[in-house]
Structure 1
Amino acid sequence: MTGATRSAEVIIIGGGLHGSSAALHLARAGVRALVIEKNYVGRHASGVNAGGVRTLSRHLAEVPLALASRELWYRIGELVDDDCGFEQHGQVRVAENAEDAALLRARLQTMTDHGYTHEQWISPEDLRTLIPALAPTVQGGLIAREDAAADPYRSTLAFRMKAASLGARFLEGVRVLAVTRRDGQWRVETDAGTYTAPQVLNCAGAWADRIAAQWGEPVPLTAISPMMLVTLRMDHFLDPVVLGTGRALSFKQRSNGTVLIGGGRRAWVDRDAEWTELDFRSLAEGARTVCDLFPHMRDAVVNRGWAGIEAAMPDEIPVIGRSSRHETAFHAFGFSAHGFELGPIVGRIMADLITTGATGLPIAPFRIERFTDPSSGPDSSPKEQDQ
């Protein structure tokens, strides 16, 4: 391999949705990145999640990014030459009881106080009209009518393919061993040799803390493994994505009739072995939630289950931005089981930071310094999570 092919303007570590999105946006800005991925693109979190394009119930710090990213999803075909299985039917978080309803109304008041109107209350009657299969005991909920869903693996692959068509290079099956700075260049040591670039972006997902630690920026990252189930095909009964409130649930029917069930329930995980094992007791609890909300699901047949591996941060929001110690290093990781929707905008943010040094979106709450300097962290606000 020649020296020219071992160098790049930017090296991106990790080829998931955020790494591939950054490569695409950099390519659109005339910067050809080299993406190094230890497996294949979409192997872990990016390709195996529920595919929610969700602004509903986001952490307040994420709301501006989520709304901006949703606008990109609306035109996803223009960005990646593929509709990514995008379908806009809204998302709704349902109240099973009075306590749930009170929590959701408090959330709505918080959003109103901050000037956001994309979340609205939906009455029990309107909710049952929208979703007749729901149990009659539901007490309303919060709805984001303009939210949507897409196919996660197809989306990630579309970003990768479009980035490559514009000049980005992807090395798959290549493991990064060390990332150090020498003589104004970043040296990325891999099991396939050394690659160099003046700038580097850490999108390594559940392994990103190891890169950050090499740069003197240790972070309290936990590797998690959210579980998913999919049923055999059923007659059509659901358009919006349904989320739980007091109980973990993410529930949607895909266009082919199968039903996808998630919600953040976690498998056993060993990130070094890249191994997961489903927790069937937790899955049984999730099944009870599903059947309570959709009684006819008692007759559903589960086809298969799986779990990806991704990174969770203690405050459940990601690390996005420049390294605190190196002007030419950047981070985008730790999306804590709700990063899929943010992929398009995070890629654009990282490309802007790398090429111009600034972004027009508020990313201060996501600074990596918040784990060493408490005063630099996000404002306290409710933490919401689903896939």
Structure 2
Amino acid sequence: MSNTRSAAVIVIGGGLHGSSTALHLARAGVPALVIEKNYVGRHASGVNAGGVRTLARHVAEIPLALASRELWYRIEELVDDDCGFEQHGQIRVAENEADVAALQERLRLMQSLGYTHETWMDADELRALIPRIAPTVRGGLAARDDAAADPYRTTLAFRRKAASLGARFLEGVRVHEIKREGGQWAVATNDGVCTAPVVVNCAGAWADRIAAQWDEPVPMQPISPMMLVTLRMDHFLDPVVLGTGRPLSFKQRANGTVLIGGGRRAWLDRDAESTELDFRELGAGARTVCELFPHMKEAVVNRGWAGIEAAMPDEIPVIGASLKREGAFHAFGFSAHGFELGPIVGQIMSELVTQGSTAFPIAPFNIGRFSKT
């Protein structure tokens, strides 16, 4: 890289939200420069469960999730790749009366707010849809129009499409310091200085360090959700199955393998960017799977992995303009459920940069909610 690179916008972080921001900026005629310290999709964006999920979202996220799902329905038009998108719905199952009560309360809340995307599925209907599920399951809360996709393929598709429209990507380049100098941002990296009037912080589990440089400290925690995948099995499941009283995300992919997640966490070293699987926690997750799907006792686990991502104490992200610095914006802290939001967050960030505002209700995601003053 030459000593100095300039761009209209610099996006820090090449995950799905950074690549989506670059794509939507490019569609608006603004070629961004994306700086990624590893490679696109290395951590949260490439190694998650791939849920295109509006089900059981935080109330503040629902408008964004529903709008993003509409973009997912047309994902091939957006990025020239279907991203492995499969629409079979998602169901949060009730294993006992406490689960039933919790899900029914959730349904009443959705109805009171005018939302109809979550509906109740009784036990007979659930077993008709998923014959291999345990007969003790009492029913579930379903978002029948939800879906799933391939996370790494999706992130690369956004990167490729953005690049085809003029965005530039610097991979293997680490940002050290960001300073405002004479109406421009000077972004110092291990490979020279890049400049732009606007910077977007999409740095995932490292985004708090950038926010701190802008005098906007946040109580962000790096986390490392674990995933398992089995060898191929005969087809038995179409929708994504989620737990209620205990953590579970469970789906069978088109190739027959079964993907198991749910937020159980690995040990991590953020500075070393390394993770270590917690086999005790994986064992607990495996027991949940076998109790819900008894035939899974015969499944063979092929591999396990964990990426590193950012969690906020209120479990919703930071999206919006910096309150302390001109020409600075944030999109991070998606707390293990940001994949579905990727398409719409890129659109929102592009609107904020190019128009100064967005029609989407992003006030709950303001970084100022963590300020003590």
In 1, are the aligned partners of 2:47 and 2:151 still within 8 Å (CA)?
A: yes
Counterpart-to-counterpart distance in 2, 1:308 and 1:214: 25
Partner residue of 1:251? 250
Return the offset for 1:310: 0.2
Q: Is 1:7 the equivalent of 2:9?
A: no
Partner residue of 2:76? 77
Partner residue of 2:64? 65
Partner residue of 1:136? 135
Q: TM-score, normalised by structure 1?
A: 0.96
Q: Is 1:184 the equivalent of 2:169?
A: no
Q: What are the Cα deviations for residues 171-218 of structure 1, in whole angstroms up to 9, with x where unaligned?
A: 000000011101000000000000000000000000000000000000
Q: RMSD over aligned Cα, in angstroms?
A: 0.9
Partner residue of 1:234? 233
Within a 5 Å distance, the mapping from 1:328-347 to structure 2 comes to: 328-347=327-346
Q: Is 1:295 the equivalent of 2:294?
A: yes
Counterpart-to-counterpart distance in 2, 1:326 and 1:214: 10
One-letter amino acid matched to 2:96 = N
Partner residue of 2:160? 161
Counterpart-to-counterpart distance in 1, 2:145 and 2:123: 19
Counterpart-to-counterpart distance in 2, 1:115 and 1:291: 36
Counterpart-to-counterpart distance in 2, 1:152 and 1:210: 25
Q: Partner of 2:180: helix, strand, or coil?
A: strand
Partner residue of 1:313? 312
Partner residue of 2:356? 357
Counterpart-to-counterpart distance in 1, 2:333 and 2:268: 16
Counterpart-to-counterpart distance in 2, 1:30 and 1:159: 16
Counterpart-to-counterpart distance in 1, 2:329 and 2:217: 14
One-letter amino acid matched to 2:280 = R
Q: Partner of 2:179: helix, strand, or coil?
A: strand
Partner residue of 1:262? 261
Partner residue of 1:117? 116
Partner residue of 1:383? none
Counterpart-to-counterpart distance in 2, 1:331 and 1:176: 16
Partner residue of 1:282? 281
Partner residue of 1:207? 206
Partner residue of 2:98? 99
Counterpart-to-counterpart distance in 1, 2:332 and 2:104: 31
Q: Is 1:370 the equivalent of 2:361?
A: no
Counterpart-to-counterpart distance in 1, 2:254 and 2:74: 20
Counterpart-to-counterpart distance in 2, 1:135 and 1:373: 48
Return the offset for 1:327: 2.8
Counterpart-to-counterpart distance in 2, 1:2 and 1:94: 55
Instruction: State the 4+ residue runs in structure 1 displaced beyond 6 angstroms.
Output: none
Return the offset for 1:131: 0.4
One-letter amino acid matched to 1:241 = V
In 1, are the aligned partners of 2:2 and 2:192 still within 8 Å (CA)?
A: no
Percent identity for Structure 1 against Structure 2: 78
Q: TM-score, normalised by structure 2?
A: 0.99
Gaps of 5+ in 2: none
One-letter amino acid matched to 1:100 = D
One-letter amino acid matched to 2:165 = L
One-letter amino acid matched to 2:302 = N
Return the offset for 1:2: 5.5
Counterpart-to-counterpart distance in 2, 1:222 and 1:187: 27
Q: What are the Cα deviations for residues 225-269 of structure 1, in whole angstroms up to 9, with x where unaligned?
A: 000000000000000000000010000000000000000000000
Return the offset for 1:326: 1.6
One-letter amino acid matched to 2:40 = V
In 1, are the aligned partners of 2:23 and 2:162 still within 8 Å (CA)?
A: yes
Q: What are the Cα deviations for residues 49-82 of structure 1, in whole angstroms up to 9, with x where unaligned?
A: 0000000000000000000000000000000000
Q: Partner of 2:81: helix, strand, or coil?
A: coil
Q: What are the Cα deviations for residues 277-313 of structure 1, in whole angstroms up to 9, with x where unaligned?
A: 0000000000010000000000000000000000000
Return the offset for 1:373: 5.3
Partner residue of 1:171? 170
Q: Partner of 1:337: helix, strand, or coil?
A: coil
Q: Partner of 2:176: helix, strand, or coil?
A: strand
| Number of aligned positions between the proteins | 373
One-letter amino acid matched to 2:351 = D
Partner residue of 1:382? none
One-letter amino acid matched to 1:224 = I
Gaps of 5+ in 1: 375-387
Counterpart-to-counterpart distance in 2, 1:125 and 1:373: 51
Partner residue of 1:148? 147
One-letter amino acid matched to 1:53 = V
One-letter amino acid matched to 2:359 = G
One-letter amino acid matched to 2:37 = K
Counterpart-to-counterpart distance in 2, 1:290 and 1:359: 42
Partner residue of 1:385? none
Partner residue of 1:377? none
Partner residue of 2:46? 47
Counterpart-to-counterpart distance in 2, 1:187 and 1:358: 24
Counterpart-to-counterpart distance in 2, 1:126 and 1:358: 44
One-letter amino acid matched to 2:281 = S
One-letter amino acid matched to 1:125 = D
